[in-house]
Amino acid sequence: MVALIFSTFFPMMLIGVPVAFCLVLTTIFVYYQMGDPRLFMQIPQKMVASMEDPLLLAIPFFIMTGEVMNRAQITDKLMNLASALVGFMRGGLAHTNIVASMLFAGITGSAVSDTVAIGSIMIPAMNKQGYGETYSAAVTAASSVIGPIIPPSIPMLIYASVMNVSIAGLFLGGMVPGILVGLALMAAAYLVAVRKGYGERIPFIGVTNLLLAVARGVPALLMPVIIMGGILGGFFSPTQASAIAVLYGLFVGFIYYRTLKLKDLAPILKHTVRSTAMLMFLLACAKSFSWLVTYYNLVEHVASMFLAITDDKIIFLLIVNAILLVVGMFLDMGFAIIVLGPLMAPVAYKMGVDPIHFGLIMCVNLTIGLATPPFGLVLFAVCGICKTTLTKVSIGIMPFLLAEVVVLLLVTYVPEITMFFPKYFGFVN
């Protein structure tokens, strides 16, 4: 029966059937083979029951928060702040691009959103300054993957719901890896800029102008502070924090920046409902599939498969990294977490990997997969913004991808990097 499950699920996925339908159709087919028509009633029951987790309410609120801040046109403010902070360095616009992605990550939590919002501004600006379209696109694609790492993060919310892990612990654990990815990309950008002569040094804008840029950007940057501060301070739960984030975003857009209009609310709600419906339907289908995973002990079969290869934790995590990098090229992060999380995580737990640590390994790994040639999603996004080809961007992104893989290995094999803040705030014993 295990062979039947895999031989049904993967062929459908390979021919392009949406993952959600692969999950539920596989469940229906296996139930049919079992010959008990009463089992079919469990499918809608399990799908409805899967929506009862209060944590899932945070998903539409965080999606709406990112859309509100995008519509409020805060990108220019964050760009100016990033330029004031690092624009004077060699290859300044590349550093500005990366830092802007780090700042934007605390608001949207989406790699594709960051690619479109920042790339549409930075790529033409970098081209004008002689950086070259391919290099500009590569920097944008590489830096946009910081979005799902620095909280708030939709993939982390999905992992927390599927694997019953503390979302606050995951958010805290993602802060240091996100910053490390940004610093590693800046180091790579500096080396490339020196070797190719990109971006001459410009004078520091001065303390006064820096303070002005900070003042204009701070209201937007307070978003992650409010979210994490409220959760850690015990003022509200993660779900309540997501609702507070929406209200704060509306306040910043309508009252402070005054760039948000009433006519923007309809597109915001439309995007929120559409994105939420897709994720919720996927989670509901996954819940019905999870019965098969439990009933047929798929976790034990996967564990036996890994242990047959190796019982060494270091080798196991290396295999996981390789698998997730490849999967991240083809599947949306949410889909990959729902399908692979319940199979891989229990094996990792048995080998002594902390649940929060493994969740962060998955999220960072799949995020880097978004920028991994030849099928990384953000690579197609930047090619849609500029005139360069996928082949050229794939070559140009290699130094940045190498920097991200180095950080991934640090996150994987030096757990103190990700676990310091979760341990400090008591989310890990």
Amino acid symbol at 26: T
- Please identify which residue in the block is written with the tokens 């048995």: 350
In a 13 Å sphere around the CA of 360, the CA atoms on its Cβ side amount to 37
pLDDT of residue 406: 95
pLDDT digits (tens, 9 = 90+) for 129-146: 888 888 888 998 898 888
Report how far apart the first and last C-alpha atoms of the chain are (Å, whole number).
39
The answer to the question of residue 83 being in a domain is: yes
DSSP 22-38: HHHHHHHHHHHHHT-GG
Q: What total number of domains does the chain contain?
A: 1
The answer to the question of residue 46 being in a domain is: no
140-153 exposure pattern, b = at least 16 Cβ within 10 A, e = fewer: bbbbbbbbbbbbbb
DSSP 65-87: HHHHHHHTT-HHHHHHHHHHHHT
The answer to the question of residue 6 being in a domain is: no
The answer to the question of residue 40 being in a domain is: no
d(CA 1, CA 291): 13
d(CA 145, CA 101): 8
Helix axes 58-71, 265-295, angle to 10 degrees: 150
d(CA 395, CA 340): 29
**Cβ–Cβ under 8 Å, residues 321 and 85:** no
The answer to the question of residue 206 being in a domain is: yes
Task: Return the DSSP state at 415.
Answer: T
Task: For residue 155, say if its preceding peptide bond is cis, omega within 30 degrees of 0.
Answer: no
pLDDT of residue 7: 75
Hey, what are 422's tokens? Answer: 């979760």
Hey, what are 324's tokens? Answer: 């997730």
**pTM of the complete model:** 0.81
DSSP 371-398: T-TTT-HHHHHHHHHSS--HHHHHHHTH
Closest listed residue to residue 423, CA positions, set 154, 161, 172, 102: 172
d(CA 69, CA 209): 24
Domain range for 155: 52-260+296-424
The answer to the question of residue 7 being in a domain is: no
Within its chain, how far is the Cα of 144 from the centroid?
A: 9
The answer to the question of residue 146 being in a domain is: yes
d(CA 363, CA 177): 10
Within its chain, how far is the Cα of 225 from the centroid?
A: 19
d(CA 215, CA 152): 22
The answer to the question of residue 326 being in a domain is: yes
Helix axes 398-413, 355-369, angle to 10 degrees: 170
Low-confidence ranges of the chain (pLDDT < 70): 1-3, 6, 35-40, 75, 106-110, 112-113, 199-201, 293-301, 303, 429
